[in-house]
Chain A
Amino acid sequence: MTQQNIATPEHIEYVLRMGDNALILGQRLSEWCGHAPVLEEDMALANTALDLIGQARLLLTHAGKLEGQGRDEDQLAFLRVERDYRNVTLTELPNEDFGRTVVRNFLFAAFQVLLYQRLATSSDAELAAIAAKSLKEARYHLSHAGEWVIRLGDGTELSHARAQAALDYLWPYTAEFFAANPADDAVAAAGIGPAWASLEPEWEALVVPVLNEATLTVPARTPFRTYGKFGRHSEHMGHLLATMQYMQRTYPGAQW
């Protein structure tokens, strides 16, 4: 452990956001197991969930070390209260149908790819290493989900309508990817990671051509804002946590 012992609260929060994004979306995707439209997609969704849970383990372990209070990945994953989770709201939304699931995976993976690329030069060496390892996975998720966005958008009339409805629903939530509070400036200044807003133009450049190929209409930005990354979540979050935390809350202190 060559990591500095004392990290700033902003630094810890930045890592927690990434870890919680992976954790909560991984949790959502694992709900699909056994219920996907074809066997190959059952496996692909489980595989994406597995990658994300793997990333969450690395990131939460790292956040726990930075914090220096002896919390491990499981204590962070299962024993925080809702307000202390830092994932963007998009990741906690219910899966709904396969259309919404793949559109979300696509929008999120594009964000993750760009973030992980930028973290290669992070002043936090451990974070840079995790990002480098996870980048390959995120790229695969992006291309797999992107292919489905195109198939659905450019498929039947029904699938086009469902893909468009999913995009219309999810798009406003993506504004949160790029939102920052003053604490985030300190993170960017310390060279830990990019300022969130700086990712937006690249993200649009990555996402829009695929949506065009899928013949989908890119929604305009609206004043709608969400604040999951600052700890204010949607109504869905508590239910997700109730399920995810069930065992740890029921059997406090037990080892599994």
Chain B
Amino acid sequence: MYTQALDIPQPKGEPKGPRVVENADYQAEFDAKIDAGGFIEAKDWMPEAYRKTLVRQISQHAHSEIVGMLPEGNWITRAPSLKRKAILLAKVQDEGGHGLYLYAAAETLGVSRDELYEALLDGRAKYSSIFNYPTLTWADIGVIGWLVDGAAIMNQIPLCKCSYGPYSRAMVRICKEESFHQRQGYDLLLQMMKGTPEQREMVQDAVNRWWWPSIMMFGPHDKDSQHSETSMRWGIKRISNDDLRQKFVDATVKQAEVLGITLPDPDLKWNEARGHYDFGAIDWEEFWSTVNGHGQCNVDRIAARRKAWEEGAWVREAALEHARKQAAREKVAA
């Protein structure tokens, strides 16, 4: 589903790739290409810091897709109709596919999917904090589609024009599917809002819990954002965190009105002079505490992923061993 913390610092153990020689001529050529709005491809020279930033960002994004399968997977077996069950299964499968494209994009930068994945499992790599919140009711599935996939799209549309070719192409494909997810989530909520008082209450409760975490998905304010400026210069980031957040709030208020729910922010109101909605202060303490591992589900999410990986080891070994045996048999036969 998506990445928030495009610029969340990652502790030690940054994935290592081939050593890149810094060279003034290459640098000039790289800068010229970036300035002209061109794409950098995997075979092109790139500054080491550019490569590292991309590896961090793309892998955080990939991990978010994979971890995001868990909170939504939580409701597949309890989906209230067969149609909704099928839609949710297809969505979660899409998210797995997004993870695959993104790991493949990261691999073009000289890191392997397994080493990136291990960094996730041992807690070195970050993923979007939004998935550290629990999915408590069926309405959460609709709200995640509407707000979380919606915020993801806001964040990701500019990445379709990201300067790194493989990442930008992966984003084009992913964005199409994310907007489909958003529409399906919104449709789920519309249906519930037409239903019983209990259903409407369930939607409002879910919105109350997901609204603030969703607008936190755009990351810290521009003034507090460590990597933003360099990322902007490199064409990895095109629009600032605060501008994206504003765009998201402006678009969402109207959708909330159509739905007939109240966004849980008493300070949310139209500002004629700015031509935008004003909104209340974000609780950054909660944001950072969740990013730093103290959200309700951080431990459980990683534990679930680690359990799957460890319990699947025998299966992966079997596949490798069978392939080795096959190769040996073919050699004998040849």
Residues on A facing B (Cβ under 8 Å) = 23, 27, 30-31, 33-43, 46-47, 49-50, 53-54, 56-57, 60, 73-74, 77-78, 97-99, 150-152, 154-156, 158-159, 162, 243-244, 246-248, 251, 253-256
Interface contact B312-A39, CB-CB below 8 Å: no
With both beta carbons as reference points, the residue of chain A lying nearest to B326 in the complex is identified as A154
Interface contact B77-A31, CB-CB below 8 Å: yes
Residue B325 at the chain A interface, CB threshold 8 Å: yes
Residue B171 at the chain A interface, CB threshold 8 Å: no
Residue B192 at the chain A interface, CB threshold 8 Å: yes
With both beta carbons as reference points, the residue of chain B lying nearest to A160 in the complex is identified as B318
Interface contact B82-A244, CB-CB below 8 Å: no
Which residues in A have their C-beta under 8 angstroms from that of B316? 37-38
CB distance from A10 to the nearest CB of B (A): 25
Which residues in A have their C-beta under 8 angstroms from that of B100? 39-40, 43
Which residues in A have their C-beta under 8 angstroms from that of B138? 247, 256
Which residues in A have their C-beta under 8 angstroms from that of B320? 155
Question: Contact mask B198-210 → A, CB, 8 Å, 1/0?
Answer: 1100000000000
Question: Contact mask B25-47 → A, CB, 8 Å, 1/0?
Answer: 00000000000000000000000
**Alpha-carbon distance between A159 and B314 when the two chains are bound, in angstroms:** 7
Which residues in A have their C-beta under 8 angstroms from that of B97? 43
With both beta carbons as reference points, the residue of chain B lying nearest to A98 in the complex is identified as B315
**Alpha-carbon distance between A46 and B96 when the two chains are bound, in angstroms:** 10
Interface contact B82-A73, CB-CB below 8 Å: yes
Interface contact A244-B308, CB-CB below 8 Å: no
Interface contact A53-B93, CB-CB below 8 Å: no
Residue B304 at the chain A interface, CB threshold 8 Å: yes
Interface contact B308-A243, CB-CB below 8 Å: no
Interface contact A162-B319, CB-CB below 8 Å: no
Which residues in A have their C-beta under 8 angstroms from that of B77? 27, 30-31, 243-244
Which residues in B have their C-beta under 8 angstroms from that of A31? 76-77
**B167-205 with Cβ < 8 A to chain A:** 188, 191-192, 194-196, 198-199
Interface contact A43-B315, CB-CB below 8 Å: no
Known contacts A36-B308, A53-B89; decide if A152 and B76 are in contact (CB<8 Å): no
Residue B52 at the chain A interface, CB threshold 8 Å: no
Which residues in A have their C-beta under 8 angstroms from that of B215? none
21 A-B pairs whose Cβ atoms sit less than 8 Å apart in the complex:
A23-B82, A31-B76, A34-B92, A34-B305, A35-B308, A40-B100, A42-B69, A42-B96, A56-B82, A57-B86, A152-B318, A154-B325, A156-B318, A158-B314, A159-B314, A159-B321, A162-B314, A247-B80, A251-B196, A253-B196, A256-B195
CB distance from A164 to the nearest CB of B (A): 13
Residues on B facing A (Cβ under 8 Å) = 66, 69-70, 73, 76-86, 89-90, 92-93, 96-97, 99-100, 103, 138, 188, 191-192, 194-196, 198-199, 304-305, 307-309, 311-322, 325
CB distance from A57 to the nearest CB of B (A): 5
With both beta carbons as reference points, the residue of chain A lying nearest to B137 in the complex is identified as A247
**Alpha-carbon distance between A244 and B81 when the two chains are bound, in angstroms:** 9
Which residues in A have their C-beta under 8 angstroms from that of B69? 33-34, 42
With both beta carbons as reference points, the residue of chain A lying nearest to B301 in the complex is identified as A34
SS class of chain B's interface: helix, strand, loop or mixed?
A: helix
Interface contact B99-A254, CB-CB below 8 Å: no
Known contacts A46-B96, A50-B93; decide if A256 and B84 are in contact (CB<8 Å): yes
**Alpha-carbon distance between A255 and B191 when the two chains are bound, in angstroms:** 7
Which residues in A have their C-beta under 8 angstroms from that of B192? 256
CB distance from B92 to the nearest CB of A (A): 6
**Alpha-carbon distance between A159 and B325 when the two chains are bound, in angstroms:** 14
Interface contact A74-B82, CB-CB below 8 Å: yes
CB distance from A234 to the nearest CB of B (A): 18
**Alpha-carbon distance between A130 and B93 when the two chains are bound, in angstroms:** 24
Which residues in A have their C-beta under 8 angstroms from that of B194? 255
CB distance from A188 to the nearest CB of B (A): 29
Interface contact B82-A53, CB-CB below 8 Å: yes
CB distance from A45 to the nearest CB of B (A): 9
Which residues in B have their C-beta under 8 angstroms from that of A74? 81-82
CB distance from A53 to the nearest CB of B (A): 5
Known contacts A39-B100, A243-B77; decide if A30 and B89 are in contact (CB<8 Å): yes
CB distance from B319 to the nearest CB of A (A): 5
Residue of B103, B309, B321 touching A156 (CB-CB under 8 A): B321
Interface contact A156-B317, CB-CB below 8 Å: yes
Which residues in A have their C-beta under 8 angstroms from that of B80? 78, 247-248, 251, 254, 256
Interface contact B318-A151, CB-CB below 8 Å: yes
**Alpha-carbon distance between A30 and B79 when the two chains are bound, in angstroms:** 11
Which residues in A have their C-beta under 8 angstroms from that of B191? 255-256
Interface contact A244-B90, CB-CB below 8 Å: no
With both beta carbons as reference points, the residue of chain B lying nearest to A56 in the complex is identified as B82
Interface contact A46-B93, CB-CB below 8 Å: yes
